[in-house]
Every structure is written in C-alpha cells, then in structure tokens.
Amino acid sequence: MPSEIDWIEKAASVRLPARHLVGGDWVDPLADDTFDVISPRDGALLKRVPHGDAHDVDRAVASARAAFNDRRWSGMRPAARGAVLRRWAELVQEHAEDLALTISLEMGKPVREAKNVELRAVANCLRWYGEIADKRPDESPAAGDDVLALITREPAGVVAAVVPWNFPLTMTAWKLGPSLVAGNSVVLKPAEQTPFSALKLAELGLEAGLPAGVLNVVPGRGDVVGQALGRHMDVDVVTFTGSPAVGRAFLRYSGESNGKRVWPELGGKSASVILPGADIEKAARASAAGSFYNQGQMCSASSRVVVHRDIADEVLHFARLQAREMAPADPLLHDAPSGALVSEQHLQRVLGYVRTAVEEGAELLEGSTGRHSVDGHPNGSYVAPTVLGGVKPGMTIEQEEVFGPVLSVITVDSEEEAIRVANGTQYGLAASVWTRDLSAATRVSRRMQAGIVWVNCFEEGDMTVPFGGVKGSGFGRDKSAHAIDKFTDLKTIWMEVEP
C-alpha cells in the first residue's frame, strides 16, 4: 500500500502565489492595497496578498479584449481549443495534491475531500468541455433553393467570472470550461479567501497552452474588483456564483453600464421531503450529510428536512447519528470527517443563526450555540453539525440561507403541506424527495419550485446535466452543453443564391 501523505509536513512549505495574471505575464498589481488571507484551520496568517483595483481591472480587460480581437484563441479550430482544455485537465490531476492542500489551507475543507471530490470535479469539467469542443454543429435551416441560411454561434467576447470560496476551483472550472471552449477571453476574480488555488489553476492553464491574454486573473475585494468588472464598458458577459445580494448588484451594475449579460447562480434553502414508506435511514442520513457536507457551505445543501409526522422521530434519530459522525477535525488529518468554516466572521454568523433559532422556539438536538474545539487549534473556525427540531415555517432559520452545518427539521401532516413548506422560501435551487411511491415521487418533483430535483438520492449528477436554480436562486445554469450557450451569440447569415 502506498504510504499516506503527511499533509501537515507539506503544509509548512506550500507555495502561495500572489501576483496577478495579465496578458500571459505574472505582474504586480497597480493598486497599493493588501489583504490578509487567514487559514481557518488554525487562525494563522497564510500570506498578505496584494489586491487589485479598477486600474488592474482595466489592464486585465484590455488584455482579454486584445486576445479576443486578434483571434489567437477565438480563431483557433474548436478541436485545437478542446485539446488545450483536455491537457489542462491532465495537469490538474498531476497537481491534485498541491491544489488540494492549497484549497484546504485557504478555506478549511478536509484535504481528502479537496483532492478526491473537488479536484476530480475540476478535471472532469475541463476534460468534458475539451471533449465537446468540436461536437456542436451550427445550423442551416431549409430556407429555400434561392438562399443559403446559416445560424452560427459566435463567442460573446470578454467574459468576467466572479466566483465564491466554498468550492473555489469547481466553481471556477464551471465558468472557465464553457466560456473558454466557446472562444471567449476571460478575466477571473476569485473570492478574497481563495486567491492562491485560483492562481495555481491559471498557471496550469498557461502550461496547457492557453495563449497569453486569454485567461487573466485579478484577485481583489468584491466591492472593488468585482464591481469594476460588473460596471466595465468592455466586458460582454458576467458569470457569477455567490450570494443573492451580490447577484442582484451585478444586475444593477449591468443596467447602469453597458447592459452586459449577467448569469447569476445564487444561494439556496433546499428542502428534503421525506414521505412515509421511504427508506428512512437512507433518506435521513443522506439529507443530514447533505446539510453538513463541506461544513454546510454548499448552495444546494439540504438544510431543511420536511418530514411527515408519522416518521419524524425515526428521521431525527438517524439525522442525529449522522451529525455525530461528521464532527469537525483538523482538515489536514486523513480521517477528518469535516473541517473548518471559511472564517471566524462566518463562524460568528452561523452561530448567530443557531442562537436566533433557539430564541424563536427551535429545539437544539445536536450541536451547540458555541464554537467546537479541535485539539491543537484553539483559533480555528469549527462548528459542530447541528440538528434543530421543532422548526416552524417562517422562522428565520427556516427562511434564510445559513451556509453552515445546520439542519432544520420541520414536521408536516400531508404531502400537500410538504410541498407548500418546501416551496415557501425565496429560493429555488434544489430539492429532494424520498418515497417508494412512484406517483408521489412524480407529483412532488413536478411541483417543486427548484432547478434540480433529486428522487431518493442527493447531490447526484455529472457534467452532462445542468446545475442552477429558479426564483431567488438566480437563473444561470452551470455544466452541460447548455452552459456554453450563455457565452455565445446567435448569428444569422443569409445568402442569396443566384439562379
């Protein structure tokens, strides 16, 4: 058996790049601003990072525009672009350990999960878009013998990708794969908390053969760099994953600048509806795990279990067992079931929600209103998986996205009530329904106001299917061939044919 990696020893010498990528060069930002990136694992400073500002954005957008206009990438054959993406996927796999360690230190998820789940998803995504590059024909409609009509898809131009920290490289790959394969140039703004992994991914992109200027990376504050991209007159498309408030800000930036296309993929408050007759242990454990996975920092987290009264006690029993089995530990340990929340500030926000829930009448069945202590890391940002019983529709904890390992259990008396409760928030990202009754599964999944519905499973899917929501969860779709359409324009070419 291969010996296990000593992640703690490796962490001592991990490389943390901080220069910006503009026009194929690693450059110092024009701005005189820095930001401390703190590891939530132990509260220690990872590095002081120079941050960009609006001038850095101008420089990066100009580089992306120049690369787009001279067609060094957009003019390449699709198959050649695909080969670059596939090579990039191979390099991600080769560097998976270093990337995983970087992610784990930046945002606190177990390094094992970063390597086996996140990096695998990143490589799959880049490879999949690489493979589909030359397999999307344009159209030639039957307009008549005297004309030749063509409908082509043209790359939109310069894309700004603004991403969050919770799956930092998966979200990035979901934006870069479809926008780059379509021939666009990109300016990427990673989240403040996770610049290093994004810069490393970009290094591998250059090594794979992305021409200079096709991918630019400007780390910086959301309200500075993110806003400058959103308001930039020479950005054609914004693809954004993050909170609803910032998603709406991007729509506003667009309206107040050049009317650029904005694709918002926002938060969620997904319901897991468990009906009598379901495999209760499977349903309860999967729903709880779906609420605690990635320390609950998951837009599609099944943060609300909506359960029929007849089976509520059994569901709670298994949900509580699951919570105990996912207690946080040092994310660099091989067997850590969970890691740290992204930051101390976020930890305080999550615990605030738990306290409010208790004040509003919920019952704290597992977890705590205080921080969880992990041996050797008193300053780490750890929260125990938390199960709240007696949650009623309309409570703050039932309505708002916590983005932490907190499961609310809501008891109902009928399928109709379950549907009403499940649909009763501003969000509409995902939902799951657990039942062995095929008609009930069909009825409930059809009526869920959600972009994704899982039946007797949770978080399933692959690159072939879209991911995204409705209502307050936004309207963008990542993954699948549909995502490529977000970054292209339809063009009609109409040619007269002389007799």
Question: Which one of 50, 110, 205, 267 is in contact with ligand NAD (CB under 6 A)?
Answer: 267
Q: Which of 248, 245, 240, 246 is nearest to 265 (CA)?
A: 240
Q: How far is the CB of 186 from ligand NAD (least distance, A)?
A: 14
Which region among 94-102, 241-249, 275-283, 376-384 touches ligand NAD (by CB under 6 A)?
A: 241-249
Question: Which one of 157, 178, 219, 222 is in contact with ligand NAD (CB under 6 A)?
Answer: 222
When the beta carbons of 114 and 278 are compared against ligand NAD, the nearer one is: 114
Question: Which one of 74, 124, 241, 291 is in contact with ligand NAD (CB under 6 A)?
Answer: 241
As a whole number of angstroms, the distance between CA 428 and CA 283 comes to: 20
CB neighbour burial string for 90-103, b if at least 16 within 10 angstroms, e if fewer: ebbbebbebbbbbb
Q: Is 243 in the site for ligand NAD (CB under 6 A)?
A: yes
| CB 176, CB 186: distance < 8 Å | yes
- 203 flagged as catalytic: no
CA distances from 484 to 128, 175, 466, 480 (A): 12, 9, 11, 8
Return the residues of window 134-173 that contact ligand NAD according to CB under 6 A: 162-166, 171
Q: Is 350 in the site for ligand NAD (CB under 6 A)?
A: no
Strands annotated E in 52-191: 147-155, 158-162, 185-189
When the beta carbons of 223 and 256 are compared against ligand NAD, the nearer one is: 223
When the beta carbons of 76 and 289 are compared against ligand NAD, the nearer one is: 289
Token pair recorded at residue 343: 């930051």
When the beta carbons of 266 and 315 are compared against ligand NAD, the nearer one is: 266
- 299 flagged as catalytic: yes
Q: Is 463 in the site for ligand NAD (CB under 6 A)?
A: no
Q: How far is the CB of 406 from ligand NAD (least distance, A)?
A: 14
Question: Which one of 191, 201, 327, 340 is in contact with ligand NAD (CB under 6 A)?
Answer: 191
The pairing of strands 304-308 and 237-241 is unpaired
Q: Is 223 in the site for ligand NAD (CB under 6 A)?
A: yes
When the beta carbons of 212 and 470 are compared against ligand NAD, the nearer one is: 470
The H or E element spanning position 26 is strand 25-27
Q: How far is the CB of 408 from ligand NAD (least distance, A)?
A: 16
As a whole number of angstroms, the distance between CA 457 and CA 129 comes to: 26
Query: Could you tell me which residues come within 8 angstroms of residue 272 by beta carbon, excluding any fewer than 6 positions away?
Result: 283, 286, 287, 290, 302, 304, 305, 306, 431, 432, 433, 434, 458
Token pair recorded at residue 187: 């300016």
The H or E element spanning position 359 is helix 344-359
Q: How far is the CB of 456 from ligand NAD (least distance, A)?
A: 23
Query: Could you tell me which residues come within 8 angstroms of residue 94 by beta carbon, excluding any fewer than 6 positions away?
Result: none
Q: How far is the CB of 228 from ligand NAD (least distance, A)?
A: 8
So which residues are the catalytic ones? 265, 299
Residues at the interface with ligand NAD (CB under 6 A): 162-166, 171, 189, 191-192, 222-223, 226-227, 230, 241-243, 246, 249, 265-268, 299, 401, 403, 429
